Amino acid sequence: MKDLLQGFAAAPSVIVANSATLCSLPLAYADEPHKLERRLLSAALDKGLKCRSAALAPDTKPASAIHTSADLACLRLSFPELCLTAEDAETLATLQTDTIGTEAIKRLVKRAKSARLNVAIAQSLATHRDNETVQRSVFGEVDWQAAPKRIVRVPDQRMPTPLFTVLIATFNASADLVATLQSILVQNRTDIECIIVDGGSRDHTLDIAAAWPHVVTHCFSHPDKGLYDALNKGLAVARGTLIGIVGAGDCYLPGALDRVAFAHYSEPADVFGGQTIERAPDGQTRKRKDEPWGLNAFVSGGPVGHNGMFATSKAYEQIGSFGYVYPMAEDTRWMHRAIHAGCSFTYIPEPVVLFPLTGMSNNNPDLVWQEAHGLIKQNFPGIDLNREDALKLLFGARGWCPPEEIKPVLERNEHVPLNISAALALKAEQVPLDTMLDILSGVLWHEAADLYRKNGLRFAETRPDRTPLLSIVLPSYNVGKYLGKALLSILLQDMEDLEVIVVNDGATDHTPCVAAAFAAIDKRVRIISQKNQGLSQARLSGIPHCRGDYVWFIDSDDFLREDCLGRIEEILRRERPDTYMVHFAYIDEHDVIDNGPIAPRDWTGLVLDPVNTPQAYCTLAGWNAQTWRFILRRDMFHEHDLSFPVGYYYEDHHFAMKLLSRTRSLFVDPAVSYVYLRRGNSISAEKSRRVFDFLHIRRMCLNFLKEEGLLERMAPLAQSYLLPVGFIRHHVAAEYVSEFLHALLSDTNAQEVRQFLHHASSDDFALLQEYAPEWVSDLARTPDTSMYAELAIAAVASNLPAMQPKSAIHPISRTLPQHAIVGVFSVELANGPQTPQGLSHWCWTREESFFLRVCTRYISKPIIQLRFRNMVEEQLILIEGPGLIHSCPTVSTNLDDVQQVAVPLSPDPDYQVIRLRIQGATQVDARKVGIMLEAVDLTDGELGRYLSPDVTQTVPKVRAPSSSNVSQLNADVRVRPENRPYVLVGENCNIAGTFVFERGVGQITIGDGTSIGGGCMLICAQPEGIHIGRNVMLSWDVVVSDNDSHATSRQLRETDARDWLTGEQRRNLGVYKNWYGVHTGKVTIGDGVWIGFGSTILKGVTIGEGAIVAAQSVVTKDVPAFSIVGGNPAQILKRDEATEARAIEKKRRSFPDFVLPEVTFTKPESQG
């Protein structure tokens, strides 16, 4: 079968066959010679004829790559059931070369899920020198080299993904198989994939499978290594969302799969389990005694019967396939592995399967107990359980012996994880509390209960030979009240691959006792003790003991959010960033949580280069960058000499600034993972003379910015350290402010003074005017700073604190940063209809002057461009600068008239302050109104752009011909509207409803003759848009959404309500919404579709041509053409069989069936 992968078009082969053999093959036609060769060879292999390869002539080179479309056509002829692309063909071509694309082949095998392709690849790999290594990498432990004796049917991968896959492993099962297939048939569902994996039966098993093509989707037969080898082969080609496993003779009860499907849609989980009805050989039946899904199963066995279990395909991908250690109990072992991994479980309290007690496990009791001992022993690697003790645990947990017999086993082993599992198993058996307490007397159950109360927690043992992914360091000093909660929040997470290092910094309370208790319970916890040396030294002391790839410093009085480490682990392994920035929330001592946003939404969920993203660096490396917000690679401490200043408070500032300057990949977490406790007696809340420590930290930060060339480049960040107004107002006690400020000013050099004056805000000057007025007065006597003195007076007089939201400046410039425009007060919406030339927002000035700070260092002919509208008569604008006075009268008071001014500036000095003074302003609406700014920019005259370009003509959001009615259509573009049509409507359409573009991307297209009723809402949030075909009817109140609107993760959607409220308050609906983690998918509605009123079409759905959706249905998956669906979720109710038959016939002509007869093989002869 490996010959089917050869590229014949590149190097035609020679086929030699005797006449009798050639005449026995079906007649083959092909328009090209290489296709004829391929069809003849494929037919010979499928016929079961013996083939062997012949050596080519010495000067003949075999093809080793796919170069032409003819080669791709050959491969498609060999595997007609797959939709092979040119990229797939190139991947397969590497099998014939010395360099095999192993990872690409793994992805192709996983996506194709084809037994024929697996066999062909495995046989091709058999000739490679690294055969065993590559085989294991691609297929794991499953052996695909043996060719199938027979393939009854091959599924077409172009068909929709089924909900269920049922795997049946058979060997000489002709007597029992029919009953199983009949039970699948009576489920009356069209979304079942049935795969039979046969071990080379010698009876009529395969004939029966071939006789049930309406049930059996895929059947192949060849010798295997046992039951679980066969099941692993089936898992490799299974395509269903839920995978069930039954043996020949097991029967699903009527409606069983409907109950499982209902549970899947109602309570999504990784594993589902239903009740099993067991039938003894004498015909008597009983219900299997199931157990809870959790830690108790480690001593009580399988929670549910394997044939009553349905696991998702994602669960099998996460946990892996079945092992080969236990011939009968690998299914139970798989469940235990799933519990260890924290897989979620939903129990279905109804019978789903009938299980005849005639299998191997019922005829080999000794082997059953032997494997039970092995499983229980394996679940507790820290102790050496003998067979007698293991079976006592099993029998006591199952109620097969008195529970008191467990007590001596627990006393002998003294193992906390064993105690936990045994206690949970006894609880499941409803053992009386008095009996449980007696059994567990002397066991630290009550202390360990809090730690291991979460069902599914892994029992981790220290493994010195393995480097953990994450090392968490907790510096601790007199935090005994909080340390236990911090440790619990870490150890109860879904992450095992970590270590916790508690640094006892000479605590005098019970902090060491709490740490020692947790270290005794969980071996991942280690303790380091030292004399009290402060927080910085405690962190530095923990670093040499860290073994993880990443290090995270956590304050011992804070704690982590539940399940956050699982997400963090996934991102660290996937993105491998230098630094991971954690999102946090505040909590006070009354447990009130504040989930305030900590970073602009455009940055969250992304990997950034901070230094090359100045706005991100200034925001994230400044005042909101505590050390506990960073998870960083351990190697960065040594590579970049990262450290903490010892003996000072506020040590985080310099560390964060240096860390982010050395970080080349920074992931900003959008979800809250860390909870920061605001307590009255904490270091950060204390107002004392220790605030003067900040002067030393400030000097370190400014020196670092200067040495790195970032002082001017990161001007907003530098400004916040030159005069830290917020820090002084909130952390410096009133009696120390004057002393602190004068000490700060005395430690400011001339370069830093100029830097400060270039970027100072009204808050800065207000603080200086209050506590250091003499410093402001000195500016007027300095020749180069007289304009800055006027700026200071104007800024103070305007009394517009930059920290207050009401003073936010609307971004009216493309070339000047926001802080460079002073005195522009607020944002005002335009009244009435928007004019074609205008904007929807204007800015107005409250005072008679406003200022621009401009840098002309790299501009040879600087020009100030101003675009505005005027609403006050007889105003005059004076533009003043170094050596410049320019007057500009306002021409009109009509708001429809846009006025533009271009004023050349002197190129010297490099930094200038430009004042725009408004004269003749009068009282309007009880406030001084000057001009309404639309744009103010600094440009270079050498570029030939003296004026801002005219505003382009607005393109309508909806483009429709005159034959269509769109008067009732509302196109609502929420974020970043572009000047383009968002909705394209065809001819003769009647369209109503609201079309929402929540992210400003995508397009909704509507074909000719379509009708969309009132109250409909189409929501587009992804670039591929929503596409509606011709002659489609959408009744009223239909909702079509291509997104989930919110993330499924609770942590990711916690701030959604607040973000939405912020958008409403700021008249920017949707601007602040975080779309990270929100799933989207293109929606396509085919021609001639009718959708009833009140129906909902969800993301990623394709509705086929001519389909009908019943009223008030919820469509969650693709709808076949010419079908009628209804319900929640929508199910197929009826098909238009005549039309469907015509469509199938058309499809068959395009893609003819390719049924393989029985194939036999001979071993290729040695090449000598």
Type and span of the H or E element at 852: strand 849-855
C-alpha torsion sign, points 524, 527, 533, 537:
negative
Q: How large is the C-alpha radius of gyration of the chain?
A: 37
Three-state SS for 886-899 is EEEECCCCCCCCCE
Cα distances from 824 to residues 453, 756, 760, 767, 931, in angstroms, run: 58, 20, 15, 20, 10
What DSSP string describes 633-678? ETHHHHHTT----TT-S-THHHHHHHHHHH-S-EEEEEEEEEEEEE
| Equal fold, 152-365 vs 958-1044+1079-1135 | no
Burial 1111-1129, CB ≥16 within 10 A → b, else e: eebbbebebbbbbbbbeee
- Which of 3.30.559.10, 3.50.50.60, 3.90.550.10, 3.30.70.3040 would CATH assign to domain 470-678? 3.90.550.10
| Residues comprising the chain, all counted | 1168
Q: Which fold has domain 958-1044+1079-1135?
A: UDP N-Acetylglucosamine Acyltransferase; domain 1 (2.160.10)
What's the whole-model pTM score? 0.47
In the chain, where the domains are located:
2-141, 152-365, 367-451, 470-678, 689-805, 808-943, 958-1044+1079-1135
Superfamily for domain range 152-365: Spore Coat Polysaccharide Biosynthesis Protein SpsA; Chain A (3.90.550.10)
**pLDDT score for 816:** 74
**How confident is the model at residue 783, as a pLDDT?**
54
CA 798/CA 807 separation, integer angstroms: 11
Cα 270 to its chain centre, rounded Å, is 17
| Cα(1123)–Cα(1108) distance, integer angstroms | 6
pLDDT for position 947: 43
Q: Which of 1060, 986, 992, 982 is nearest to 1023 (CA)?
A: 982
Query: Which residue ranges in the chain fall short of pLDDT 50?
Result: 7-16, 18-31, 34, 46-50, 52-67, 444-464, 794-810, 826-841, 846, 921-929, 945-952, 1154-1157, 1159-1161, 1163, 1166-1168
Scan for tokens 């304050």, then name that residue: 555
Among 512, 513, 492, CA closest to 559: 492
* Inter-residue long-range contacts of 885-890, CB under 8 Å, 24+ positions, other chains counted: 890/931
Distance (Å, whole) CA 296 – CA 293:
8
Rounded distance between C-alpha atoms, residue 1079 and residue 1049, angstroms:
11
Phi, psi of 319 (to 5 degrees): -85, -35
Rounded distance, CA 310 to CA 295, Å?
20
Model confidence pLDDT, tens digit, residues 345-377: 999 999 999 999 875 555 567 788 888 888 888
CA dist., res. 445 & res. 427, Å (int): 13
Q: How many CB atoms lie within 10 A of CB 953?
A: 8
What's the CA gap between 729 and 1086, in Å, rounded? 63
Could you tell me the two tokens for 214?
Answer: 């309406």
At the top level of CATH, which class does the domain 808-943 belong to? mainly beta
User: Where do the H-state alpha helices sit in 16-68?
Assistant: 19-24, 33-47
